[in-house]
Amino acid sequence: MTNPNAKFRAKFDARVTARYDIKALIGRGSFSRVVRAEHRRTRQPFAIKLLEVKGREGHEACQAELGVLQRVNHSNVIRLAEVFETQHRVYLVLELATGGELLERVVARGTFRERDATKALMMVSSGLRYLHSLGVIHRDLKPENLLYYHPGQDSRLIITDFGLACWENKTAASFQSIEDTAVMTQDANFDSAHVEKSCQAKDWAVRTLCGTPEYLAPEMLARRPCSSAVDMWALGVITYILLSGSLPFDQSSQPRLFRAILRGSYSFHGDPWKSVSTLAKSFIDCLLTLEPERRMTAEETLKHPWLVSMAACSSNKNLHRSISRNLQRRASRASSRGPSSGSTPGSRVSMRPGSRPGSGPRLGVRDRSQCLKITA
């Protein structure tokens, strides 16, 4: 039988195969492939992300991601080892994370307590503090993009997938107030088109709306200039999921979802919130704040009493059963909705000119093949 990986090996430039032994295909997107590889001399494992880039826009999008990856160097951020470029392809050699996604680790454990959550969140916050100090905004932070480096209990947690990352513009002015956003949400027929019409009416400049719907910050939906605060909002959503297995904003359609986010409509009702400490809820509240300037920064999260004490004063209750049950219910609802539903948890939307589809799941990168160009 023909080796199923042989055709993928043929796609690799001779310079790449001279240094790396291509082992197996581990992920794919519309315009990319991710393979597990081994350095021929050191035998060290790596992940190689092959990007098909055609045309000026494709190269520009790839260079934007490269610009971030080539500059970062932190234990909680994916590391780029080297890059190979040809006319139509770019090969990113990245460290290989084999410990699984954040929520996979939670489900696989027999126990999960608040202290376990704080350990993970400290690593993510540390990575975000570093990225934000450089002026990097991730813009697609979610559990699928948080990978453990190895299966051991002492593994570091890594922020991955910088396909939608951008550099923060410190001088960007806000084009809309929170009060304007609140008025927008009062329309019972609000939907994504409503946002676009409001943008046109106010003669706004083109704004970027990208990421995964359930994690989008309200200022992104309102098409206001975004800052590193959008990552902190996403961290609030992640924390909520980590402690409960459910989403803070979980609606049956995208218009309802966006409306809930713009209103900041979430609660701590249901299981297991009665067993979650007040400090943990305070941590979430300080992140899921509508006003970005009042939202906790990454630096401030690391100083929050809940993380500083590592939940020492919190309940020692095992949340594992409730989290696993809620995650299972969420997955069942998502599958029952099917691809035609307005909002499928975990699916990414990208509304920016020249968006480039992503690559395989092991790097936390999701398919960006369905992109909408929205101008205001």
Q: Are residues 108 and 17 in the same domain?
A: no
Among 112-121, 131-140, 217-226, 331-340, name the one with the lowest average pLDDT: 331-340
Q: Is the pTM of this model over 0.75?
A: yes
Summarize pLDDT for 87-125 with one digit per residue, the tens: 889 999 999 999 999 999 999 988 999 999 999 999 999
Query: Around Cβ 314, how many Cβ atoms within 10 Å?
Result: 20
Q: Which residues of 220-235 are buried (b: 16+ CB within 10 A; e: fewer)?
A: bbbbbbbbbbbbbbbb
Q: Of 79, 95, 111, which residue sits at a domain end?
A: 95
Q: Are residues 49 and 106 in the same domain?
A: no
DSSP state for residue 333 in the 8-state scheme:
H
Among 176-190, 295-309, 313-327, name the one with the lowest average pLDDT: 176-190
Annotated binding site for ATP: 49
Q: Of 59, 79, 95, which residue sits at a domain end?
A: 95
CA quadruple 286, 287, 292, 296: dihedral positive or negative?
positive
As annotated, the active-site residues are 140
pLDDT confidence bin for 274, thresholds 50/70/90? very high
pLDDT confidence bin for 367, thresholds 50/70/90? very low
Give the range of the structural domain holding residue 157, as residue numbers without chain letter.
Answer: 102-363
Residue 362 has pLDDT above 50, yes or no: no
Place of tokens 């004063």: 313
Q: Are residues 161 and 79 in the same domain?
A: no
Query: Around Cβ 293, how many Cβ atoms within 10 Å?
Result: 9
Q: Are residues 162 and 253 in the same domain?
A: yes
Q: Which residues, at least 6 apart from 51, have a Cβ–Cβ distance to it below 8 Å?
A: 31, 32, 62, 89, 90, 91, 92, 356, 359
